[in-house]
Structure formats: C-alpha cells, structure tokens
Amino acid sequence: MDWLLILGLVVLLIGGAIASFYLFTFVTRTRQEFRAAQPDLRVTNMSAMSSGNVLTIYPELQNLGGGVAYDCLLHLGGWEGNFSIKKVSPRGQRDQKHVASIVLGPDAPIRTKLMDHGYIRLRYLDRWGQKYDCWYEVTQLETGDGPLYNVQIDLEHPELHEPQPSFWEMRKFLRTVPLSE
C-alpha cells in the first residue's frame, strides 16, 4: 500500500513537471512573438543647422522593432508645432528613415526663456492601438551672443513608457489581426 502511494506521488510529480515545462514554453513563446510584433520607434540621429538667429534641428526617426508604428507624433516642448507620420514600417521591409524639421526662430519659447524641464516626446501606436511614449531630455545652453538659448538633446538615455499587457492580453492581441494589416 505504501508503494502504491509513493508510486502515485512520483507519477503525479513527473506529470506536473512535464505540464509546467510545456506551460512555461508556451508562455515564453507567446511573449517572444508579442515582443517581435511590437514597434520600437526611436530618434536615431540628430543634426542641427544655425542660420543667424534661427536654429533648425533635424531629428531622424527610425523603427527598430518588428511591428509597424502608427500615428507617430514628435513634439518638442517649447516649440509651437509638431511633426507627424501616419505609418512607419520596421527595418527591412521598406527601410524608412524619416527626418523631421524643427525650426526654432528667435521668438520660440525654448530659445528665449529658461525652462525647468525640456523634452522631446515621441508618441506612437502599435497595430492593436496600444500607446507608446519615448521622452528625450533637452538641455538649454546659453549662447555667447545675446539672450537666446541653443538646445542639446540626449539621445542616449530615452525614457520609455511602453504598455505592459498581461499574458492573456498578449495572446488575445496575437490572435486578432486588425483590418489595417
């Protein structure tokens, strides 16, 4: 009788170990598939041109992820405009690099007054409508000739705000393909 109980426990433990292994593999594979389908839009390069009192900044946007980024919006705090793109494909498909043009004249707020927290915000959506935010810190530097400030943007340390769906939400997203695909 004791051998049957021990044998039953061993079979139960082995069956539980096998089931947990397959469950772990299934969860890991689903998460990897979801991460591979997410966009990863970033400012990959920055150039600037100064002409008199006008400073023009040219951020280069590129999708480094595996999914398409939709409704992309680039905004610089202290600048009245924004730059938007409807759709940015990932690398490899239609290798796109979009270059924005941010013209900061002598009357732009970011050039005339010192701001506490300067930023560039890059907002976009994935194919399921989840919102992503990427913030880059902007530092204002005094110019030697006059009250105007130049801007310096830190591309190395972006602050990322990505959605954190549960496993079941990831699975639901992967099983549904939107009409726009």
- Summarised one tens digit per residue, pLDDT across range 86-137 is 888 887 656 678 898 888 888 888 888 888 888 999 999 999 999 999 999 9
Secondary element (H or E) of residue 114 = none
Does the predicted model carry a pTM greater than 0.85?
A: no
- Summarised one tens digit per residue, pLDDT across range 23-43 is 999 999 999 999 999 999 999
Kindly give the interhelix angle for 2-36 and 167-175, rounded to the nearest 10 degrees: 60
Query: Bridge-partner residues for 48, per DSSP?
Result: 57
CA angle at 18 for the pair 15 and 21, rounded to the nearest 5°: 150
140 pLDDT band, cuts 50/70/90, is confident
What's the DSSP call for residue 96? -
